[in-house]
Chains A and B, each alone.
Chain A
Protein backbone atom coordinates (compact mmCIF):
# COMPACT_ATOMS: atom_id res chain seq x y z
CA UNK A 1 0.00 0.00 0.00
CA UNK A 2 1.09 3.53 -0.71
CA UNK A 3 2.52 5.11 2.45
CA UNK A 4 0.69 8.42 2.49
CA UNK A 5 2.73 10.98 4.46
CA UNK A 6 -0.31 12.74 5.89
CA UNK A 7 -1.80 9.50 7.29
CA UNK A 8 1.52 8.42 8.80
CA UNK A 9 1.98 11.82 10.43
CA UNK A 10 -1.61 11.71 11.68
CA UNK A 11 -1.38 8.32 13.40
CA UNK A 12 1.95 9.08 15.05
CA UNK A 13 1.21 12.62 16.24
CA UNK A 14 -2.45 12.34 17.20
CA UNK A 15 -1.64 8.96 18.73
CA UNK A 16 1.08 10.51 20.88
CA UNK A 17 -1.26 13.28 22.02
CA UNK A 18 -3.99 10.78 22.89
CA UNK A 19 -1.38 8.59 24.57
CA UNK A 20 -0.28 11.37 26.94
CA UNK A 21 -3.90 11.86 28.04
CA UNK A 22 -4.49 8.12 28.48
CA UNK A 23 -1.32 7.87 30.60
CA UNK A 24 -2.36 10.85 32.73
CA UNK A 25 -5.74 9.27 33.32
CA UNK A 26 -4.07 5.98 34.28
CA UNK A 27 -1.60 7.71 36.59
CA UNK A 28 -4.44 9.62 38.24
CA UNK A 29 -5.56 6.35 39.81
CA UNK A 30 -2.14 5.82 41.37
CA UNK A 31 -0.90 9.25 42.25
CA UNK A 32 -1.75 12.92 42.46
CA UNK A 33 -1.51 14.54 39.05
CA UNK A 34 -2.35 18.07 40.12
CA UNK A 35 1.11 19.33 39.13
CA UNK A 36 2.32 22.89 39.31
CA UNK A 37 0.59 25.13 36.81
CA UNK A 38 3.65 25.75 34.67
CA UNK A 39 4.12 22.06 33.99
CA UNK A 40 0.40 21.60 33.43
CA UNK A 41 0.39 24.36 30.84
CA UNK A 42 3.25 22.68 29.00
CA UNK A 43 1.40 19.37 28.88
CA UNK A 44 -1.81 21.11 27.79
CA UNK A 45 -0.06 22.85 24.89
CA UNK A 46 1.84 19.72 23.91
CA UNK A 47 -1.21 17.42 23.84
CA UNK A 48 -3.28 20.00 21.96
CA UNK A 49 -0.60 20.58 19.33
CA UNK A 50 0.04 16.85 18.87
CA UNK A 51 -3.65 15.95 18.53
CA UNK A 52 -4.80 18.83 16.34
CA UNK A 53 -1.77 18.87 14.02
CA UNK A 54 -2.31 15.15 13.42
CA UNK A 55 -6.01 15.54 12.76
CA UNK A 56 -5.47 18.47 10.39
CA UNK A 57 -2.80 16.50 8.56
CA UNK A 58 -5.20 13.57 8.11
CA UNK A 59 -7.53 15.77 6.04
CA UNK A 60 -4.70 16.62 3.63
CA UNK A 61 -4.85 13.28 1.82
CA UNK A 62 -8.53 13.85 0.95
CA UNK A 63 -9.47 14.87 -2.57
CA UNK A 64 -12.01 17.29 -1.10
CA UNK A 65 -10.99 18.33 2.45
CA UNK A 66 -13.75 20.97 2.47
CA UNK A 67 -16.31 18.14 2.42
CA UNK A 68 -14.72 16.37 5.42
CA UNK A 69 -17.72 17.24 7.62
CA UNK A 70 -19.82 14.85 5.54
CA UNK A 71 -17.84 11.96 6.98
CA UNK A 72 -19.64 12.26 10.33
CA UNK A 73 -22.86 10.89 8.86
CA UNK A 74 -22.21 7.17 8.29
CA UNK A 75 -21.17 6.09 11.79
CA UNK A 76 -23.61 3.20 11.62
CA UNK A 77 -21.56 1.33 9.04
CA UNK A 78 -18.17 2.97 8.52
CA UNK A 79 -15.19 2.83 10.90
CA UNK A 80 -13.70 5.88 9.22
CA UNK A 81 -16.85 7.83 9.97
CA UNK A 82 -16.81 6.62 13.60
CA UNK A 83 -13.17 7.63 13.89
CA UNK A 84 -13.87 11.15 12.63
CA UNK A 85 -16.85 11.53 14.93
CA UNK A 86 -14.99 10.19 17.98
CA UNK A 87 -12.02 12.48 17.27
CA UNK A 88 -14.25 15.56 17.18
CA UNK A 89 -16.34 14.58 20.23
CA UNK A 90 -13.11 14.04 22.21
CA UNK A 91 -12.36 17.76 21.95
CA UNK A 92 -15.38 18.67 24.08
CA UNK A 93 -14.40 17.00 27.40
CA UNK A 94 -10.76 17.69 26.53
CA UNK A 95 -11.31 21.45 26.53
CA UNK A 96 -13.25 21.28 29.80
CA UNK A 97 -10.49 19.14 31.32
CA UNK A 98 -7.82 21.62 30.22
CA UNK A 99 -9.72 24.48 31.83
CA UNK A 100 -10.56 22.74 35.11
CA UNK A 101 -7.09 21.21 35.43
CA UNK A 102 -5.41 24.54 34.92
CA UNK A 103 -7.76 26.20 37.42
CA UNK A 104 -7.12 23.44 40.00
CA UNK A 105 -10.79 22.54 40.09
CA UNK A 106 -11.20 19.06 41.51
CA UNK A 107 -13.73 18.02 38.86
CA UNK A 108 -10.99 17.88 36.23
CA UNK A 109 -10.46 14.22 37.12
CA UNK A 110 -13.87 13.14 35.73
CA UNK A 111 -13.29 14.98 32.49
CA UNK A 112 -9.81 13.50 32.22
CA UNK A 113 -11.18 9.96 32.50
CA UNK A 114 -13.96 10.74 30.03
CA UNK A 115 -11.43 12.23 27.57
CA UNK A 116 -9.14 9.25 27.89
CA UNK A 117 -12.02 6.82 27.21
CA UNK A 118 -12.90 8.82 24.08
CA UNK A 119 -9.22 8.83 23.06
CA UNK A 120 -9.19 5.04 23.35
CA UNK A 121 -12.39 4.84 21.30
CA UNK A 122 -10.85 7.05 18.59
CA UNK A 123 -7.72 4.89 18.44
CA UNK A 124 -9.85 1.75 18.42
CA UNK A 125 -11.86 3.09 15.45
CA UNK A 126 -8.66 3.93 13.56
CA UNK A 127 -7.30 0.46 14.18
CA UNK A 128 -10.56 -1.23 13.21
CA UNK A 129 -10.69 0.73 9.96
CA UNK A 130 -7.51 -1.09 8.90
CA UNK A 131 -8.20 -4.39 10.67
CA UNK A 132 -11.54 -4.89 8.90
CA UNK A 133 -10.03 -4.62 5.39
CA UNK A 134 -10.04 -8.23 4.27
CA UNK A 135 -8.27 -7.28 1.07
CA UNK A 136 -5.01 -6.61 2.93
CA UNK A 137 -3.95 -9.71 4.91
CA UNK A 138 -1.21 -7.83 6.80
CA UNK A 139 -3.87 -5.51 8.23
CA UNK A 140 -6.72 -7.99 8.60
CA UNK A 141 -5.16 -9.13 11.81
CA UNK A 142 -6.28 -9.17 15.44
CA UNK A 143 -3.07 -7.44 16.54
CA UNK A 144 -3.49 -4.32 14.39
CA UNK A 145 -5.88 -2.48 16.73
CA UNK A 146 -3.97 -3.40 19.94
CA UNK A 147 -0.77 -2.20 18.23
CA UNK A 148 -2.37 1.13 17.37
CA UNK A 149 -3.33 1.43 21.05
CA UNK A 150 0.03 0.43 22.49
CA UNK A 151 1.85 2.68 19.99
CA UNK A 152 -0.17 5.63 21.29
CA UNK A 153 0.26 4.71 24.96
CA UNK A 154 4.03 4.08 24.80
CA UNK A 155 4.67 7.24 22.81
CA UNK A 156 2.45 9.21 25.20
CA UNK A 157 4.26 7.80 28.22
CA UNK A 158 7.67 8.48 26.70
CA UNK A 159 6.74 12.03 25.69
CA UNK A 160 5.42 12.75 29.18
CA UNK A 161 8.58 11.23 30.65
CA UNK A 162 10.83 13.39 28.46
CA UNK A 163 8.79 16.43 29.52
CA UNK A 164 9.44 15.63 33.18
CA UNK A 165 13.15 15.64 32.32
CA UNK A 166 13.00 18.99 30.47
CA UNK A 167 11.22 20.68 33.33
CA UNK A 168 13.00 18.73 36.08
CA UNK A 169 9.81 17.35 37.46
CA UNK A 170 8.86 14.00 38.94
CA UNK A 171 5.71 11.98 38.27
CA UNK A 172 5.41 8.82 40.35
CA UNK A 173 5.00 5.55 38.47
CA UNK A 174 5.60 7.20 35.06
CA UNK A 175 9.06 5.61 34.99
CA UNK A 176 7.55 2.13 35.25
CA UNK A 177 4.68 2.87 32.88
CA UNK A 178 7.09 4.10 30.19
CA UNK A 179 9.41 1.11 30.39
CA UNK A 180 6.57 -1.44 30.49
CA UNK A 181 4.65 0.11 27.58
CA UNK A 182 7.74 0.49 25.37
CA UNK A 183 8.72 -3.14 26.01
CA UNK A 184 5.17 -4.30 25.28
CA UNK A 185 5.15 -2.28 22.06
CA UNK A 186 8.33 -3.97 20.83
CA UNK A 187 7.07 -7.41 21.84
CA UNK A 188 3.76 -6.95 20.01
CA UNK A 189 5.50 -5.72 16.88
CA UNK A 190 7.79 -8.77 16.87
CA UNK A 191 4.77 -11.09 17.14
CA UNK A 192 2.97 -9.08 14.42
CA UNK A 193 5.92 -9.32 12.02
CA UNK A 194 6.06 -13.06 12.56
CA UNK A 195 2.31 -13.48 11.90
CA UNK A 196 2.23 -11.40 8.71
CA UNK A 197 5.12 -13.36 7.26
CA UNK A 198 2.96 -16.52 7.40
CA UNK A 199 -0.50 -15.33 6.39
CA UNK A 200 -1.97 -15.87 2.91
CA UNK A 201 -5.61 -15.08 2.04
CA UNK A 202 -5.93 -15.10 -1.74
CA UNK A 203 -3.97 -16.43 -4.70
CA UNK A 204 -3.73 -15.67 -8.42
CA UNK A 205 -5.73 -18.88 -8.95
CA UNK A 206 -8.68 -17.68 -6.88
CA UNK A 207 -8.40 -14.16 -8.31
CA UNK A 208 -8.72 -15.41 -11.88
CA UNK A 209 -10.57 -18.66 -11.16
CA UNK A 210 -8.45 -20.37 -13.78
CA UNK A 211 -8.00 -23.76 -12.18
CA UNK A 212 -6.93 -24.84 -8.72
CA UNK A 213 -3.52 -26.38 -9.35
CA UNK A 214 -2.61 -24.64 -12.57
CA UNK A 215 0.41 -22.44 -12.70
CA UNK A 216 -0.85 -18.94 -13.48
CA UNK A 217 1.38 -16.05 -14.46
CA UNK A 218 0.69 -12.62 -15.86
CA UNK A 219 1.56 -12.65 -19.55
CA UNK A 220 0.65 -9.07 -20.34
CA UNK A 221 -0.57 -6.29 -18.08
CA UNK A 222 -3.54 -4.17 -19.19
CA UNK A 223 -1.22 -1.34 -20.21
CA UNK A 224 2.47 -0.51 -20.28
CA UNK A 225 2.41 2.38 -17.81
CA UNK A 226 1.26 2.82 -14.24
CA UNK A 227 -2.28 3.51 -13.07
CA UNK A 228 -4.06 4.48 -9.86
CA UNK A 229 -4.21 0.86 -8.70
CA UNK A 230 -0.51 0.20 -9.17
CA UNK A 231 0.63 3.45 -7.52
CA UNK A 232 -1.86 3.33 -4.63
CA UNK A 233 -1.96 -0.37 -3.86
CA UNK A 234 1.10 -2.07 -5.31
CA UNK A 235 4.21 -0.78 -3.58
CA UNK A 236 7.26 -2.84 -2.95
CA UNK A 237 10.21 -2.62 -0.63
CA UNK A 238 13.28 -4.83 -0.67
CA UNK A 239 13.37 -7.31 2.19
CA UNK A 240 16.83 -6.20 3.31
CA UNK A 241 15.75 -2.56 3.43
CA UNK A 242 12.58 -3.44 5.31
CA UNK A 243 14.52 -5.49 7.85
CA UNK A 244 16.94 -2.60 8.34
CA UNK A 245 14.03 -0.19 8.94
CA UNK A 246 12.47 -2.66 11.40
CA UNK A 247 15.75 -2.69 13.29
CA UNK A 248 15.85 1.14 13.20
CA UNK A 249 12.35 1.28 14.69
CA UNK A 250 13.16 -1.26 17.40
CA UNK A 251 16.29 0.61 18.45
CA UNK A 252 15.07 4.21 18.08
CA UNK A 253 11.59 3.83 19.55
CA UNK A 254 11.95 1.05 22.10
CA UNK A 255 15.48 -0.03 23.00
CA UNK A 256 17.26 3.35 23.05
CA UNK A 257 14.64 5.13 25.22
CA UNK A 258 14.48 2.23 27.69
CA UNK A 259 18.28 2.18 27.90
CA UNK A 260 18.51 5.95 28.41
CA UNK A 261 15.78 5.97 31.04
CA UNK A 262 17.55 3.23 33.00
CA UNK A 263 20.96 4.89 32.52
CA UNK A 264 19.63 8.29 33.54
CA UNK A 265 21.30 8.52 36.99
CA UNK A 266 24.68 8.75 35.25
CA UNK A 267 23.48 11.82 33.32
CA UNK A 268 22.12 13.82 36.21
CA UNK A 269 25.48 15.49 36.89
CA UNK A 270 24.83 18.01 34.12
CA UNK A 271 21.29 19.32 33.71
CA UNK A 272 21.92 20.60 30.18
CA UNK A 273 23.18 17.21 28.97
CA UNK A 274 20.20 15.54 30.63
CA UNK A 275 17.74 17.82 28.85
CA UNK A 276 19.50 17.50 25.52
CA UNK A 277 19.64 13.71 25.83
CA UNK A 278 15.93 13.39 26.47
CA UNK A 279 15.11 15.88 23.74
CA UNK A 280 17.03 13.68 21.29
CA UNK A 281 15.49 10.51 22.73
CA UNK A 282 12.02 11.93 22.01
CA UNK A 283 12.91 13.05 18.48
CA UNK A 284 14.51 9.69 17.65
CA UNK A 285 11.53 7.81 19.10
CA UNK A 286 9.16 9.84 16.92
CA UNK A 287 11.32 9.15 13.85
CA UNK A 288 11.33 5.44 14.73
CA UNK A 289 7.55 5.45 15.04
CA UNK A 290 7.20 7.19 11.68
CA UNK A 291 9.39 4.45 10.16
CA UNK A 292 7.22 1.78 11.76
CA UNK A 293 4.06 3.33 10.28
CA UNK A 294 5.81 3.63 6.90
CA UNK A 295 6.57 -0.12 7.02
CA UNK A 296 2.99 -0.87 8.08
CA UNK A 297 1.86 0.58 4.76
CA UNK A 298 4.64 -0.31 2.35
CA UNK A 299 4.81 -3.96 3.45
CA UNK A 300 1.06 -4.52 3.23
CA UNK A 301 0.07 -6.31 0.04
CA UNK A 302 -3.37 -5.77 -1.49
CA UNK A 303 -5.26 -8.51 -3.34
CA UNK A 304 -5.38 -6.35 -6.49
CA UNK A 305 -1.68 -7.12 -6.98
CA UNK A 306 -2.79 -10.65 -7.93
CA UNK A 307 -3.97 -9.13 -11.23
CA UNK A 308 -0.59 -7.48 -11.73
CA UNK A 309 1.78 -10.43 -11.46
CA UNK A 310 1.75 -11.39 -7.76
CA UNK A 311 1.00 -15.08 -7.06
CA UNK A 312 -0.23 -14.98 -3.51
CA UNK A 313 -1.27 -12.31 -1.04
Chain B
Protein backbone atom coordinates (compact mmCIF):
# COMPACT_ATOMS: atom_id res chain seq x y z
CA UNK B 1 0.00 0.00 0.00
CA UNK B 2 1.18 3.51 -0.64
CA UNK B 3 -0.29 4.86 2.54
CA UNK B 4 2.29 5.49 5.24
CA UNK B 5 2.49 3.10 8.20
CA UNK B 6 0.46 4.38 11.14
CA UNK B 7 3.12 3.41 13.65
CA UNK B 8 6.82 2.96 13.29
CA UNK B 9 8.61 0.50 15.50
CA UNK B 10 12.02 1.83 14.57
CA UNK B 11 13.36 4.81 12.68
CA UNK B 12 16.58 3.63 11.13
CA UNK B 13 18.56 6.46 9.60
CA UNK B 14 21.82 8.26 9.17
CA UNK B 15 23.41 11.18 10.96
CA UNK B 16 25.89 13.13 8.89
CA UNK B 17 28.44 15.32 10.63
CA UNK B 18 29.21 18.29 8.37
CA UNK B 19 32.01 19.29 10.73
CA UNK B 20 33.90 16.10 9.94
CA UNK B 21 33.09 15.37 6.30
CA UNK B 22 36.13 16.03 4.11
CA UNK B 23 34.32 15.58 0.80
CA UNK B 24 36.32 12.56 -0.39
CA UNK B 25 33.28 10.95 -2.12
CA UNK B 26 34.23 7.52 -0.73
CA UNK B 27 30.68 7.03 0.64
CA UNK B 28 29.19 7.70 -2.79
CA UNK B 29 31.60 5.29 -4.47
CA UNK B 30 31.08 2.50 -1.96
CA UNK B 31 27.31 3.07 -2.16
CA UNK B 32 27.41 2.52 -5.90
CA UNK B 33 29.73 -0.46 -5.45
CA UNK B 34 27.46 -2.24 -2.94
CA UNK B 35 24.12 -1.36 -4.50
CA UNK B 36 24.99 -2.19 -8.07
CA UNK B 37 25.06 -5.81 -6.98
CA UNK B 38 22.44 -5.59 -4.22
CA UNK B 39 18.67 -5.09 -3.83
CA UNK B 40 18.45 -2.58 -6.72
CA UNK B 41 21.08 -4.13 -8.96
CA UNK B 42 22.33 -3.14 -11.42
CA UNK B 43 22.63 0.63 -11.12
CA UNK B 44 22.90 1.41 -14.80
CA UNK B 45 25.32 3.88 -16.29
CA UNK B 46 24.66 5.38 -19.69
CA UNK B 47 27.66 6.13 -21.89
CA UNK B 48 30.03 5.37 -18.97
CA UNK B 49 33.27 5.75 -20.94
CA UNK B 50 32.01 8.34 -23.45
CA UNK B 51 31.90 12.11 -23.53
CA UNK B 52 28.71 12.54 -21.57
CA UNK B 53 28.36 9.82 -18.93
CA UNK B 54 25.34 9.67 -16.60
CA UNK B 55 24.15 7.04 -14.21
CA UNK B 56 22.19 6.15 -11.12
CA UNK B 57 23.75 7.10 -7.79
CA UNK B 58 22.02 6.99 -4.42
CA UNK B 59 24.43 9.30 -2.70
CA UNK B 60 26.00 12.48 -4.03
CA UNK B 61 28.34 14.94 -2.36
CA UNK B 62 27.78 18.64 -2.92
CA UNK B 63 30.22 21.28 -1.73
CA UNK B 64 29.01 24.67 -0.57
CA UNK B 65 30.77 27.89 0.25
CA UNK B 66 29.27 29.49 3.33
CA UNK B 67 30.00 33.15 3.96
CA UNK B 68 29.01 34.32 7.40
CA UNK B 69 29.53 37.64 9.18
CA UNK B 70 30.90 36.00 12.31
CA UNK B 71 32.86 33.05 11.01
CA UNK B 72 34.08 34.35 7.69
CA UNK B 73 34.12 32.05 4.72
CA UNK B 74 34.23 28.28 4.86
CA UNK B 75 33.81 25.28 2.63
CA UNK B 76 31.24 22.67 3.67
CA UNK B 77 31.04 19.25 2.07
CA UNK B 78 27.49 18.07 2.02
CA UNK B 79 26.66 14.40 1.31
CA UNK B 80 23.02 13.85 0.39
CA UNK B 81 21.06 10.64 0.05
CA UNK B 82 17.50 9.53 0.87
CA UNK B 83 16.43 10.86 4.27
CA UNK B 84 13.82 8.09 4.82
CA UNK B 85 11.20 10.66 5.86
CA UNK B 86 8.45 9.82 8.34
CA UNK B 87 5.96 11.75 6.19
CA UNK B 88 7.43 10.63 2.90
CA UNK B 89 5.51 12.32 0.04
CA UNK B 90 7.18 9.95 -2.45
CA UNK B 91 5.24 7.06 -0.90
CA UNK B 92 1.75 8.56 -0.97
CA UNK B 93 1.92 9.84 -4.56
CA UNK B 94 2.79 6.41 -5.98
CA UNK B 95 -0.14 5.19 -8.11
CA UNK B 96 0.80 1.49 -7.99
CA UNK B 97 1.92 0.88 -4.43
CA UNK B 98 5.47 0.15 -5.62
CA UNK B 99 6.83 2.84 -3.33
CA UNK B 100 6.46 1.93 0.32
CA UNK B 101 7.71 2.65 3.82
CA UNK B 102 8.44 -0.33 6.04
CA UNK B 103 6.63 -0.42 9.36
CA UNK B 104 9.37 -2.42 11.09
CA UNK B 105 12.25 0.00 10.53
CA UNK B 106 10.98 2.99 8.51
CA UNK B 107 13.09 2.26 5.43
CA UNK B 108 11.54 3.62 2.21
CA UNK B 109 11.87 1.19 -0.69
CA UNK B 110 10.67 0.70 -4.27
CA UNK B 111 9.31 -2.62 -5.49
CA UNK B 112 11.07 -3.07 -8.86
CA UNK B 113 8.39 -5.50 -10.09
CA UNK B 114 5.44 -3.11 -9.77
CA UNK B 115 7.02 0.30 -10.45
CA UNK B 116 5.67 1.70 -13.74
CA UNK B 117 8.35 4.40 -14.03
CA UNK B 118 6.00 7.42 -13.96
CA UNK B 119 8.63 9.45 -12.04
CA UNK B 120 5.99 11.24 -9.93
CA UNK B 121 7.76 10.15 -6.71
CA UNK B 122 10.95 11.87 -7.84
CA UNK B 123 8.97 15.05 -8.44
CA UNK B 124 7.45 14.91 -4.97
CA UNK B 125 10.79 14.49 -3.15
CA UNK B 126 12.20 17.90 -2.18
CA UNK B 127 15.70 16.49 -1.71
CA UNK B 128 16.22 14.77 -5.06
CA UNK B 129 16.79 11.44 -3.35
CA UNK B 130 15.29 9.29 -6.08
CA UNK B 131 16.94 8.55 -9.36
CA UNK B 132 15.31 7.02 -12.39
CA UNK B 133 17.09 4.13 -14.09
CA UNK B 134 16.66 4.80 -17.81
CA UNK B 135 17.74 1.29 -18.81
CA UNK B 136 15.51 -0.55 -16.34
CA UNK B 137 12.57 1.89 -16.73
CA UNK B 138 11.99 2.05 -12.98
CA UNK B 139 12.73 4.39 -10.11
CA UNK B 140 15.58 3.54 -7.76
CA UNK B 141 16.70 4.94 -4.43
CA UNK B 142 18.83 4.48 -1.33
CA UNK B 143 17.79 1.28 0.45
CA UNK B 144 19.77 2.12 3.58
CA UNK B 145 21.60 -1.04 2.48
CA UNK B 146 18.69 -3.18 3.63
CA UNK B 147 20.55 -6.16 2.15
CA UNK B 148 23.62 -5.41 4.28
CA UNK B 149 22.35 -4.24 7.66
CA UNK B 150 20.38 -7.44 8.27
CA UNK B 151 22.81 -9.76 6.48
CA UNK B 152 23.79 -12.60 8.78
CA UNK B 153 26.45 -13.83 6.39
CA UNK B 154 28.75 -10.92 7.14
CA UNK B 155 30.44 -10.04 10.44
CA UNK B 156 28.19 -8.11 12.83
CA UNK B 157 30.44 -5.05 12.79
CA UNK B 158 29.90 -4.71 9.04
CA UNK B 159 26.11 -4.68 9.28
CA UNK B 160 25.84 -0.94 8.66
CA UNK B 161 25.13 0.87 5.37
CA UNK B 162 28.02 0.87 2.89
CA UNK B 163 28.44 4.65 3.13
CA UNK B 164 28.88 4.41 6.91
CA UNK B 165 31.35 1.52 6.92
CA UNK B 166 33.54 3.16 4.29
CA UNK B 167 33.73 6.73 5.63
CA UNK B 168 37.42 7.24 6.50
CA UNK B 169 36.71 10.27 8.68
CA UNK B 170 33.81 8.85 10.68
CA UNK B 171 31.43 11.55 9.55
CA UNK B 172 28.51 9.18 9.17
CA UNK B 173 26.61 7.36 11.91
CA UNK B 174 23.83 4.83 11.60
CA UNK B 175 21.21 3.79 14.13
CA UNK B 176 17.66 3.99 15.42
CA UNK B 177 16.64 7.64 15.57
CA UNK B 178 13.31 6.72 17.10
CA UNK B 179 14.95 5.33 20.25
CA UNK B 180 15.72 8.05 22.78
CA UNK B 181 18.35 5.88 24.47
CA UNK B 182 20.34 5.14 21.35
CA UNK B 183 23.82 6.59 20.90
CA UNK B 184 22.82 8.23 17.65
CA UNK B 185 19.81 9.96 19.22
CA UNK B 186 22.03 11.36 21.98
CA UNK B 187 24.55 12.53 19.39
CA UNK B 188 21.87 14.48 17.52
CA UNK B 189 20.67 16.07 20.75
CA UNK B 190 24.15 17.00 21.93
CA UNK B 191 25.22 18.55 18.61
CA UNK B 192 21.89 20.21 17.69
CA UNK B 193 21.28 18.00 14.70
CA UNK B 194 18.74 19.44 12.31
CA UNK B 195 16.32 18.56 9.48
CA UNK B 196 16.80 19.68 5.88
CA UNK B 197 14.01 21.90 4.53
CA UNK B 198 11.68 21.57 7.57
CA UNK B 199 9.17 23.80 5.74
CA UNK B 200 8.48 20.94 3.35
CA UNK B 201 6.89 18.97 6.24
CA UNK B 202 8.45 15.63 5.32
CA UNK B 203 9.80 14.91 8.84
CA UNK B 204 13.07 13.44 7.55
CA UNK B 205 14.67 10.71 9.68
CA UNK B 206 18.26 11.50 8.69
CA UNK B 207 19.79 14.39 10.59
CA UNK B 208 22.68 16.72 9.83
CA UNK B 209 25.13 18.00 12.43
CA UNK B 210 26.22 21.60 11.79
CA UNK B 211 29.88 22.55 11.36
CA UNK B 212 31.28 23.81 14.68
CA UNK B 213 31.95 27.52 14.94
CA UNK B 214 35.59 28.26 14.47
CA UNK B 215 36.62 31.21 16.56
CA UNK B 216 40.23 31.93 15.80
CA UNK B 217 42.09 34.98 14.59
CA UNK B 218 41.72 33.97 10.94
CA UNK B 219 38.07 33.04 10.87
CA UNK B 220 36.67 36.53 11.16
CA UNK B 221 38.99 38.07 8.58
CA UNK B 222 37.35 37.99 5.24
CA UNK B 223 39.71 37.65 2.32
CA UNK B 224 40.17 40.99 0.63
CA UNK B 225 39.84 41.28 -3.07
CA UNK B 226 42.93 42.73 -4.71
CA UNK B 227 40.93 44.43 -7.42
CA UNK B 228 37.89 46.60 -7.12
CA UNK B 229 36.44 45.25 -10.32
CA UNK B 230 34.05 42.40 -9.75
CA UNK B 231 34.79 40.62 -12.98
CA UNK B 232 38.44 39.91 -13.61
CA UNK B 233 39.20 40.03 -17.30
CA UNK B 234 42.53 39.74 -19.06
CA UNK B 235 42.68 43.53 -19.38
CA UNK B 236 42.12 44.08 -15.68
CA UNK B 237 44.99 41.70 -14.86
CA UNK B 238 47.21 43.59 -17.26
CA UNK B 239 46.33 46.80 -15.47
CA UNK B 240 47.06 45.31 -12.06
CA UNK B 241 50.46 44.06 -13.20
CA UNK B 242 51.27 47.37 -14.83
CA UNK B 243 50.29 49.27 -11.68
CA UNK B 244 52.35 46.92 -9.54
CA UNK B 245 55.43 47.29 -11.73
CA UNK B 246 55.33 51.10 -11.48
B78: A residues at CB distance < 8 A: 208, 307
A65–B118 alpha-carbon span in the complex (Å): 9
Instruction: Enumerate chain B residues within 8 angstroms of A214, measured Cβ to Cβ.
Output: 66-68
When chains A and B are docked, how far (Å) is the Cα of A136 from the Cα of B125?
10
Complex interface residues of chain B between 129 and 148 (CB less than 8 A to chain A): 131-132, 134, 136-139
- Interface flags, A37-65, vs B, CB<8A=1, else 0: 00000000000000000000000011111
Most buried by B among A134, A228, A232, A308: A228
Interface string of A122-150 (1 = CB under 8 A from B): 00000001001111100000000000000
Q: How far is the CA of A204 from the CA of B12 in the complex (A)?
A: 26
Contact B128 A304 (CB under 8 A): yes
Residue on B nearest A220 in the bound complex, by CB: B63
Interface hub of A61, A74, A218 (most chain B Cβ within 10 A) = A74
The reply to whether B64 and A216 form a contact with Cβ atoms under 8 Å apart is: yes
Q: CA separation between A77 and B87, bound complex, in Å? A: 13
Chain A interface size band reads 35 or more
Q: B73: nearest residue on chain A (CB-CB)?
A: A215
Asked if B126 contacts A304 (CB within 8 A), the reply is yes
Closest B residue to A302 by CB, please name it: B123
- Mark each residue of chain A from 204 to 238: 1 if its CB lies under 8 Å from any CB of chain B, else 0: 10111111011111111111011111011100000
The answer to whether residues A211 and B68 also contact, given A135-B123, A222-B62, A304-B127 and a CB cut-off of 8 A, is yes
Given contacts A63-B138, A74-B94, contact A229 B128 (CB under 8 A): yes
- The chain B residue with its CB closest to the CB of A227 is B54
Interface 9-mer from A79-87, A111-119, A275-283: A79-87
A225/B54 contact (C-beta < 8 A), A63-B137, A78-B92 known: yes
Q: Known interface pairs A63-B137, A219-B63. Does A226 touch B126 (Cβ–Cβ under 8 Å)?
A: no
Stretch among B109-117, B149-157, B226-234 lining the A interface: B109-117
CB pair B96–A67 under 8 Å, yes or no, is yes
Cβ of A68 within 8 Å of any chain B Cβ, yes or no, is yes
Inter-subunit contact B116/A62 (CB<8 Å): yes
Are A129 and B120 in contact (CB-based, < 8 A)? Answer: yes
Give CA–CA (A241, B201) in the complex, Å: 35
Interface residues in chain A, defined as those with a beta carbon under 8 Å from any beta carbon in chain B: 1, 61-65, 67-68, 70-74, 76-81, 84, 129, 132-136, 201-202, 204, 206-211, 213-223, 225-229, 231-233, 302-304, 307-308
Q: What are 15 inter-chain pairs, A to B, with CB distance below 8 A?
A: A61-B118, A62-B117, A73-B95, A74-B96, A74-B97, A78-B2, A202-B197, A210-B211, A213-B69, A217-B64, A217-B67, A222-B61, A304-B126, A307-B78, A307-B80
